[in-house]
Every structure is written in C-alpha cells, then in structure tokens.
Amino acid sequence: MTVDLSSKIQNTQFKNLFLNASGIHCQSKKELEELMNDHYSGGLVTKSATPNSRFGNPLPRYHSLPAGSINSMGLPNEGFQFYLDYVTHSNIQKPTILSIAGMSKEEDLELLHQIQDSKYQGLTELNLSCPNVIGKPQMAYDFASSNQMLKEIFAFFKKPLGIKLPPYFDLVHFDKIAKILNQYPLSHVNTINSIGNGMWVDVEKESVVLKPKGGFGGIGGAIALPTALANVRALRQRLNASINIIGTGGVTSGKDAFAHVLCGANMVSIGTQLYEEGLGAFQRINNELIEIMKAKGYHSLDDFRGKLKEQ
Ligand code: RRO
C-alpha cells in the first residue's frame, strides 16, 4: 500500500508535511544547506530575521527539560539580507518559508516592502510571537495592534504571507484572533510558538537555568503538545478554509504528527525534538507516520485531516 505525505500551503506544494520549526537548524548557511539537502523534510523555514544580524541573549539560553525545553535565545540571526539571499540565490530544492521578526511595526513593514520588491516567490511568515526579546511584548497578544498591522501590511503586500502565533489559552481569545485573521488573505497561520515565560528550577543549585530575563523562557517539546493541539484545533474550527495551518509544538513521533493533522494541520513542524535528535528525526517521524497510516488504511493526509472525533 502506498502512502502519500504530500501537502500544500496555498499554491505551494510540499512533498511531505514536515518542516523544521523556525530557529532550529536554520540560522547559519551550513545548517540551511543541511536542511535543504535532507531528503525527509518537506520544506525549509529560516530563522526569524531582523534587519541587522544579532548575537541574541547572553548564554546559557537553552536548557533541555525532562519532557521538552526552555529557551531565551533572543533572536540570534545573520540579518534579513542573508536569509533573503539564501532563499533567492541558492540551489533551492524544496519550498521555503522566509521568517521575519522586526523589532517594531515599522521594521516589519520595511522588511515586507523589501520582500515585495524582491524576486522571492516563496512563502513569508511574520513572527508575531517571539517571547524572548527583552522589553518587547508578544504582538499577537495585542489584538488591536495586530489588526492594525495586518491592515497596513495587506495594503501593499501581495505575496503569500502567513503569521506565527503564540499559544492562546482562552476560547474567547481564539474567537477574537480568528475574527481578525479572517479579514485578511493570509496563506497560513503557524501555531504555536513556544509557551512564553515559563520557568525551570535547578533544585540542587537553587537557581534558574537560563541567564537572560532572570530565567524566564519559552517552553517547547513534548510538554507543549496538548497546548499545540488545542490551538491547531481551535483555529481550524474558526479560520476561513483558505487559511492553512502549520501545526508546531510537541511533536516527537509519528503519532504526535498524526494528532496534529487530525486537529487540522496542513503541515507539521518539529522544534525541540529536531534540536535534541538531529536531522535524523525527520526520517524516523516520517516512517512512524507512514506506518500509522498504513495500519489505519489511509492513503493521504486528506483522508483524516481535521476529522478529529468528539466523544
Ligand atoms: O530567538 C528566540 O528567542 C525565539 C524566537 Br524569535 C521565537 O519566536 N520563539 C522562541 O521560542 N525563541
């Protein structure tokens, strides 16, 4: 029995549904090349870019947890031009998602103007949810500002654009954000970014584990899975069908990816597990998902996407 893992975001066709989560294995040229050449990832997402390169927050800024991770990287990246050059000039063998994260609305608009004026034809993703930049709130928790920003963006931006959302925790907030997003021709939403401003304690040292922000950081990995599934499901139930969903959060196995698709994900991205296991995670998780689909008699993702049953 053959199983087809191909998927689409708007008109962009991916040979399989798996992506790296932005920030994982996608900052340097070497990492991007390795991702580009990996046979088992369907596409490539770049590290969120700021106008100029950044070192990011002081170290230590990533810590593995028993069932996930905490990070406060602080947007280390090579600068917007580096990533724009990479996705427009390199030997591109798979679809790309160019992630951007300006430090202000003005910077975001400026980066989007540059993309609009460039020859880049791939997908762009505006990160409205980085939890770790000191003094900068997560924009997508401010509904009025997000709406105003999208209004200004779509007045000039005509290429495929998605946004990266933070997790929401209240059904009223899902209603509010979906009502805003449904007014715009978004290619996709990517949900969820890490669960912002968590804390881990090293009991032996009686200390936090990260240097920046007094130890507060974004939580990812297996412990984020239930929150991620809820966000994919709740947004799929509310967003226009034309807005695709990239499910991100807590995927460590084919089973977790299957659950994301059941909740409505078109694509699935892998963060903490990719960092911990390396690129081999793509092949393993691909194979696990294929085995589950074969056992259930599913040929394609459409056979079960969004078909989560209620009790
Ligand atoms: O660089 C980071 O600290 C970071 C970013 Br931009 C993000 O969107 N999510 C995250 O967990 N870390």
Domains observed in the chain: 7-54+75-194+223-303 (3.20.20.70)
Which of 45, 53, 54, 75 to mutate to test ligand 1, by most ligand atoms within 8 A of the CB atom? 75
Verify whether ligand 1 is closer than 6 Å to residue 306 (CB atom). Answer: no
Atom of ligand 1 nearest to the CA of 47: 6
Cβ count within 10 A of residue 47: 25
pTM over 0.95: yes
Distance 302 CA to ligand 1 centre (A): 31
Segment 261-274, tens digit of pLDDT: 999 999 999 999 99
Segment 84-99, tens digit of pLDDT: 999 998 788 999 999 9
Verify whether ligand 1 is closer than 6 Å to residue 139 (CB atom). Answer: no
Verify whether ligand 1 is closer than 6 Å to residue 166 (CB atom). Answer: no
Verify whether ligand 1 is closer than 6 Å to residue 163 (CB atom). Answer: no
Percent of the chain residues topping a pLDDT of 70: 100
Q: What is the pLDDT of residue 1?
A: 86
Q: Which residues are catalytic?
A: 130
Which protein residue has the closest C-alpha to ligand 1 atom 1? 75
Verify whether ligand 1 is closer than 6 Å to residue 26 (CB atom). Answer: no
Mean pLDDT value across residues 213-225: 98
Mean pLDDT value across residues 221-229: 99
